[in-house]
Structure 1
Amino acid sequence: MALVLRGELRLSAGKSAVQAAHAAVMLVEQARRRDESGMAEWLAQGQKKIALVVSTLDEMVDIERRARARGIAVLWVEDAGFTEVAPGTRTCLGLGPALASELDPITGSLPLL
């Protein structure tokens, strides 16, 4: 699972952690609803997650496009706007659950959060 945050928003550490957590929980729930077979393998291999950062929303949109093209589940976290950013701001892009070997071609060059 990859959790990609928008660096340009300059979210606090706490806000970044919460946005990534929202994405992780929503991805797992999405996978359970779809009964994805890859979920069992991801769970068995330790439920790996990685938090990454990109500079802009455009970069996140490109990552989304590339992930969808490879059949990897994606979702956006849009903030409610109660604290640091305006309502509806896309803060995090979640990919997976998927194995590192599936995500690396898309996210392998991104810096860690």
Structure 2
Amino acid sequence: MKQAIAARTDLGMGRGKLAAQVAHASLSAYEDASPSTRKAWKGSGQKKVVLKVSGEQAVFDVASEAERLGIPNAVIRDAGHTQLDPGTVTAVAVGPAEDDEVDRVTGDLSLY
């Protein structure tokens, strides 16, 4: 099992901001998963990969495909307290789910 988090490359987020957005996405998608999926993922080491998306539309495309396939997912919008304007879409998480399910949605994305 794994989770993939795709973060936008076009925003120029600093490393700390990127880490925070990835963490928000991971937790939010985890909360979208069923209790049995959460337990299985936690028991298997909570594998995560961080990937690149080029812009806001790509985030929504990933989320739409995950939703269509019934995979837990979450789109993150920034609160706007530091580097970004309020409501800026920053990242999307897909999973936790079986590796092959996550790969069906994110397999063509590059590592961050």
TM-score, with normalisation over the residues of structure 2? 0.89
The percent identity for this pair of structures is 38
Structure 1: gaps of 5 or more residues: none
Deviations 1:5-35 (A, max 9, x none): 111111111110010011112222333xxx4
Cα deviations across residues 43-72 of structure 1 (Å, max 9, x unaligned)? 221111111111111111111111111100
- Cα RMSD between the aligned structures? 1.3
- Large movers: runs of 4+ above 4 Å: none
Partner SS, residue 77 of structure 1: strand
Task: List per-residue Cα deviations over 1:90-111 (Å, max 9, x = no partner).
Answer: 1111111112221011111111
What residue is the counterpart of 1:13 in the other structure? Answer: 15
Structure richer in strand, relative to its length? 2
- State the alpha-carbon separation in 2 of the partners of residues 40 and 105 from structure 1: 22
Partners of 2:65 and 2:25 in 1: CA distance = 18
With the length of structure 1 as denominator, give the TM-score of the two structures.
0.88
- Structure 2: tracts of 5 or more residues without a match: none
What CA distance in whole angstroms lies between the structure 1 residues aligned with 2:54 and 2:98? 24
Name the count of aligned residue pairs: 110
